[in-house]
Amino acid sequence: MLGKKKWMSSLAVLLTGALFVTGCASNANSNQGNQDTRKTMTIAYSDGGQTLDPAEASDLTSDTMTMNAYDQLVTYGVKTVDGNQKADTEDIKPMLASEWKVSADGKTYTFILRDAKFHSGNPVDAESVVYSMNHVKNSQNGSFMYQMASIKKVTAKDDKTVVIELNRPNHMFLQMIGMYTFSIIDGKTVKTKPKDYLKTNTAGSGPYKVDSWDPASQAVLSANTSYWQGAPKISKVTMKFIKEPSNRVMLLNKGDVDLAIEIPPKDVDSIKKNAKLNVTSTPSNRILYFAFNEKVKPFDNAKVRQAINYAIPYDQLVHDVMYDQAKQLKSSIPSSMPGYTEDGFVYKHDLNKAKQLLKEAGLPNGFTFDFTLGSGFDDWKDDAVLIQAELRKIGVTMNIKPMARPEFLTAVNQKTLTTYISKWTSFVNDPGYHLGLLLYSKGSSNAFSYNNAQVDKLWEQAEIEKDKQKREALYKQMQVLINADAPWVYLYEYNRVVGSKKEVKGYITYPDECIRFFPLSK
């Protein structure tokens, strides 16, 4: 007993001693300065991000961090739609390239670089552009964008002049090199660092530097005060990673974050009621569609697919599932994309018409099919249940089979499913990109290998058409043909919902959904 007491008392002495010794020394918070809250901003994100390498980034958090740490050769203009600021992807503006010339055959672009400096102090020169383009070419994820941009060769003509040669004229080229994938990297600095340096560090010339990034909690970005466009108004941006959507809403309501992304549609009304907050809900390029495997009977019959199209409760999906934070999709491309048309879209919720089409298809008593529900999105589940209920009314039984996301994505790639719903976001705001990947017969993301020779021909024609008007006319013809074939049911196009404090200004919607911090202020 005595031994125990002795032991306890020596521990107490030790702890007090430790407190005494260290307590007098300065600690991490002994020199707390007050920060000007008007110059800092906290933004709630959901995921923590995967990489800081612009060529490998493929999730919103990574994209946003790289977008703000790097500049690109060109960028997009801004227009105002319904009172909200929005990127105008058809208006290409100078960024690191102050001007450029296109050769008569449309295959050679010559860029003149402006005087700008990387965070390291190195100048942005032609060599760094060559380095950056090669970096994209040799990357895992970005290499496919490099191919899509049809880049053949990148050469430094002199210190400030870069020549990019293309394999063929490509009307999407300028728009594509404005994406984060084609960020201009400080090659000189990276070459002196270990191999995977770019994965966890940035070496750009952008308005912000990534001071710290911990995918578990937060990323802190500080302003690049010697930015070539002037120092950003917000000197420090903290991106907080908050998984739980209801917590993001609560934090915003309490004023603990200045801005929160991915607000659940059901919470939009509660935020609108808060006099201190704003909700910006703008159409995005994210669409939701229901895909049929035409190799599985009876979906080989266009009449059956059309019947399903008539049985979908479109208004209910938009209103009851999405709380009106979405819009019915009426073509294979999102409505904000150039060349969009609703021509040939005849479908509305009409069960009699659906029944009649089934009868014409020789299935008056309906049929049974499997539907695969990928996990991870609450609205998909509600959509599936509502669609199931409507289909039952026309005698069609839809068996919903839930599947975890990794397994779902693998099955989608292998084209082994019968039907499913899936979303798609075209970061390149162009039907050539969108339809080329999704509905061109050789498109790599063509859900069930939809194949219409006429559609293919029109797409190929549009690819090399230099005239914008003529090109868009071709894309319109394609959409009409696709509408008649009904390879999908078009469900809805999502709104991008961002909640912010009233005083937060300068939010602009981009097709890649990344927030540019530079124009932000409060």
Partner 1 sequence: MFGYILRRLLYMIPGFIGIILITFVLSRVLPGDPAVMIAGEQAPPDVIAKIRVELGLDQPIYIQFVDYVKKLFQGDFGTAWHTGHTVLQDFSSRLPATVELTLASIFIAILIAIPVGIIAAVKKESILDHISRVFSLIGACVPIFWLGLMFIFLFYSKWGFFPAPMGRISDGINPPTAITGLYILDSLLSGDMIAFKDSLMHLILPAICLSTGTMAIVARMMRSSMLEVIGQDYIRTARAKGMRESKVIMKHALSNAFIPTLTLLGLQFGFLIGGAVITETIFSWPGVGGYITDSILATDYAPIQAFTLMSAIVFSIVNLIVDVLYGALDPRIRYE
253, 372, 429, 500: residue in contact with partner 1 (rule CB under 8 A): 253
- Whichever of 256 and 378 has its CB closer to partner 1, that residue is 256
CA 242 to chain centre: 18
- Whichever of 97 and 288 has its CB closer to partner 1, that residue is 288
Can you read off the two tokens belonging to residue 222?
């500080």
Nearest approach in angstroms of CB 303 to partner 1 is 30
- Whichever of 309 and 426 has its CB closer to partner 1, that residue is 426
Contact in structure between 447 and 488 (CB atoms under 8 Å): yes
Nearest approach in angstroms of CB 445 to partner 1 is 6
Strands 208-214 and 108-113: unpaired
- Stretch binding partner 1 (CB under 8 A), from 253-261, 279-287, 364-372, 390-398: 253-261
Nearest approach in angstroms of CB 239 to partner 1 is 11
Can you read off the two tokens belonging to residue 103?
């050769």
Euclidean distance between CA atoms 266 and 300, whole angstroms: 38
The contacts of residue 60 (CB under 8 Å, 6+ apart) are 45, 47, 261, 513, 514
Judged by CB under 8 A, does residue 242 bind partner 1?
yes
70 burial type by CB count under 10 A (0-12 exposed, 13-18 middle, 19+ buried) = buried
Judged by CB under 8 A, does residue 334 bind partner 1?
no
Nearest to 259, CA basis, from 521, 70, 76: 521
Contact in structure between 168 and 150 (CB atoms under 8 Å): yes
Strands 368-374 and 236-241: unpaired
- Whichever of 6 and 319 has its CB closer to partner 1, that residue is 6
170, 422, 429, 452: residue in contact with partner 1 (rule CB under 8 A): 422
- Whichever of 33 and 121 has its CB closer to partner 1, that residue is 33
* 3-class SS letters over 501-513: ECCCECCCECCCC
Judged by CB under 8 A, does residue 453 bind partner 1?
no
Contact in structure between 500 and 277 (CB atoms under 8 Å): yes
167, 246, 441, 449: residue in contact with partner 1 (rule CB under 8 A): 246
Nearest to 287, CA basis, from 98, 466, 437, 480: 437
Nearest approach in angstroms of CB 50 to partner 1 is 5
Judged by CB under 8 A, does residue 158 bind partner 1?
no
- Whichever of 143 and 222 has its CB closer to partner 1, that residue is 143
Can you read off the two tokens belonging to residue 510?
């981009």
Residues between 220 and 239 with contacts to partner 1, criterion CB under 8 A: 238
Q: 333-344 as b/e, with b when 16 or more CB fall inside 10 Å?
A: bbbbbebbbeeb
CA 350 to chain centre: 34
41, 51, 208, 514: residue in contact with partner 1 (rule CB under 8 A): 51
100, 144, 228, 323: residue in contact with partner 1 (rule CB under 8 A): 144
The contacts of residue 515 (CB under 8 Å, 6+ apart) are 43, 64, 259, 261, 498, 507, 508
Judged by CB under 8 A, does residue 270 bind partner 1?
no
Contact in structure between 301 and 292 (CB atoms under 8 Å): no
How many CB atoms are closer than 10 A to CB 184? 30
Nearest approach in angstroms of CB 103 to partner 1 is 29
- Stretch binding partner 1 (CB under 8 A), from 75-83, 180-188, 437-445, 491-499: 437-445
- Whichever of 75 and 285 has its CB closer to partner 1, that residue is 285
Please count the residues of this chain forming the interface with partner 1, following the rule CB under 8 A.
Answer: 61
84, 141, 335, 521: residue in contact with partner 1 (rule CB under 8 A): 141
Nearest approach in angstroms of CB 356 to partner 1 is 36
Nearest to 221, CA basis, from 213, 180, 255: 213
Judged by CB under 8 A, does residue 167 bind partner 1?
no
Can you read off the two tokens belonging to residue 390?
């409507």
Can you read off the two tokens belonging to residue 16?
């007090």
Judged by CB under 8 A, does residue 200 bind partner 1?
yes
Nearest approach in angstroms of CB 222 to partner 1 is 14
Site string for partner 1, 375-414 (x = CB under 8 A): -x---------------------------xxxx-xxxxx-
- Whichever of 45 and 109 has its CB closer to partner 1, that residue is 45
Nearest approach in angstroms of CB 75 to partner 1 is 22
41, 43, 48, 96: residue in contact with partner 1 (rule CB under 8 A): 48
Judged by CB under 8 A, does residue 273 bind partner 1?
no
Task: Kindly give the residue spans of alpha helices, DSSP state H, lying in 394-521.
Answer: 405-414, 431-438, 453-463, 468-485
DSSP-assigned letters across all residues of 366-400: --EEEEEEESS-HHHHHHHHHHHHHHHHTT-EEEE
- Stretch binding partner 1 (CB under 8 A), from 85-93, 118-126, 330-338, 419-427: 419-427
Strands 84-94 and 218-223: unpaired
- Stretch binding partner 1 (CB under 8 A), from 48-56, 96-104, 203-211, 460-468: 48-56
10, 22, 80, 399: residue in contact with partner 1 (rule CB under 8 A): 22
- Whichever of 293 and 477 has its CB closer to partner 1, that residue is 293
Instruction: Name the site residues for partner 1 (rule: CB under 8 A).
Output: 18-19, 22-25, 27-30, 32, 35, 42, 48-53, 58-59, 140-141, 143-144, 199-200, 214-218, 238, 240-244, 246-247, 250-251, 253-254, 256, 376, 404-407, 409-413, 422, 424-425, 437, 444-445
